[in-house]
Amino acid sequence: MSTDRTRPAGRRDQRGPRSVPPQRSRQPLTHRPPRPHQWFAERLLAVLSGQRPVHWMLGHTVGEAYDQLAELAPSTPLGAARGSRPVLRHCRGAQPATGVVEAFASIVAGDRVRAMAFRLEQGPDQRWRCAAVELGGERLTAAAPVRR
């Protein structure tokens, strides 16, 4: 038998009675998956900054968008500035039509801020794919060879 009178008989743990009522636990925050434009902005940033290879976007682009990325990725137009890794600061999207999202994002690397705009189209399989990309007001196309 127990000689300690603060615990009921048979109780083995060393906790005593609670003097404070238990606090209500907070409701767990529900984790929302990223929206398509946020997800694509992160992927485009990773490719255009050289963190990921361009073939990472192979199944996620339509039309000339993949060709544009393949030609631009080696030059890393969103590459790190002074050793700081580029980060997605803001990303917003608008849906002008069913199955289309036009989005813009701001990217920060050191003291530089760059703008990126892109268009997503939803295919018949309900998957979103990137159809166009613009960076800082310039359409991402390969530079035409200079004729001399």
Q: Are strands 128-135 and 100-109 parallel, antiparallel or unpaired?
A: unpaired
Q: Which of 17-21, 64-68, 70-74, 97-101 has the highest mean pLDDT?
A: 97-101
Answer whether residue 137 shows pLDDT above 60. no
- Average confidence score pLDDT of the chain: 81
Answer whether residue 125 shows pLDDT above 80. yes
- Distance from C-alpha of 141 to C-alpha of 124, rounded to nearest angstrom: 27
Backbone angles phi, psi at 81, to 5 degrees: -105, 120
- Distance from C-alpha of 147 to C-alpha of 80, rounded to nearest angstrom: 32
Residue 5: its pLDDT value, please? 61
Answer whether residue 22 shows pLDDT above 70. no
Tokens, residue 127? 């998957």
Residue 146: its pLDDT value, please? 45
Q: At what angle do helices 36-48 and 65-72 cross, to 10 degrees?
A: 30
In tens, the pLDDT along 73-91 reads: 787 878 776 677 899 999 9
| Residue among 57, 52, 54, 38 at smallest CA distance from 106 | 38
